[in-house]
Amino acid sequence: MKGSLLIVGFFVIGCLLGWGLSQWEITPTADIASYVLYLLMFQVGLSIGSDKKIKDILTGIHPKLLLVPLATIIGTLSFSALVSLIITKWSLFDCLAVGSGFAYYSLSSILITELREASYGIQIATELGTIALMANIMREIMALLGAPLFIKYFGQLAPICVGGATTMDTTLPIITRYSGKDFVFVAIFHGILVDLAVPFFVSFFCSF
C-alpha cells in the first residue's frame, strides 16, 4: 500500500510539473513517455528473468494452475465489459483496456496513453491513462486490505485473483500470510502469467 501511495505522489508531482511547464510555454519532449514505456517493458522482462524461482516454477507447472490466471483474466474483462454499459463516455474497448492493466498501474497507464493519443488526442488519452492508473492502484489496495474478507467469503484463491499481476511481488506477503504458504507457488505463477498478459491485452483493445 505504501508503494501505491508513493506512485500516486509521483503522479501528482508529475501533473504539477507538467502544469508548471505549460505555464512557461515549455513543451516536454514528446518521446519521454515512449522511453519510459520501453524502460518499464525492460524492467518486466528483467524482473521475471532474474527470479531465482522461475526454474522451479516452470518445471513444476501443473495444467490446473493455468485455471487461476485464466479465471482472473476472464473475470476482470467480463466486469470491465459490464462497466462500459454504465460509463457511456468510454467505449467497450476503452474499459477493457483499463481492466487489462490487472493492477499493473504503471505500465498500463502509460501504454494506454501512448496508444490512444493518435486516435483521441493527448488530452483524452491522458485522461483515460489516468483512469487506468487510479483503477489499477485501487485494485492493488483492495487486494492488500481486503485479503481476509476475500478468503472468508470466496476462498483462499480469491486474494490471488484480486491481486492480478501484483501477486508475484507486492501482494505476495499478504497472500502468504492469509492464504498460507501452500499458495505461494500459485501466486507467483499467477503473477508471472498475468504480468505478461498486460501489454498484449492492453495493446489489443487499444487497437480498436
**3-class SS letters over the chain:** CHHHHHHHHHHHHHHHHHHHHHHCCCCCCCCHHHHHHHHHHHHHHHHHHCCCCHHHHHHCCCHHHHHHHHHHHHHHHHHHHHHHHHCCCCCHHHHHHHHCCCCCHHHHHHHHHHHHHHHHCHHHHHHHHHHHHHHHHHHHHHHHHHHHHHHHHHCCCHHHHHHHHHHHCCCHHHHHHHHCHHHHHHHHHHHHHHHHHHHHHHHHHHCC
Q: Is residue 144 part of a domain?
A: yes
Q: Is residue 85 part of a domain?
A: yes
What is the tally of structural domains in the chain? 1
Q: What is the mean pLDDT of residues 106-134?
A: 92
For the chain, give the mean pLDDT.
83
Q: Is residue 53 part of a domain?
A: yes
Q: Is residue 10 part of a domain?
A: no
Q: Is residue 14 part of a domain?
A: no
Q: Is residue 40 part of a domain?
A: yes
Domain ranges, residue 112: 31-206
Q: Is residue 150 part of a domain?
A: yes
Q: What is the mean pLDDT of residues 2-21?
A: 63
146-203 pLDDT, tens digit per residue, is 999 999 999 999 999 999 999 988 888 888 889 988 888 888 889 989 999 999 999 9
Which pLDDT value is given to residue 174?
Answer: 87
Q: Is residue 166 part of a domain?
A: yes
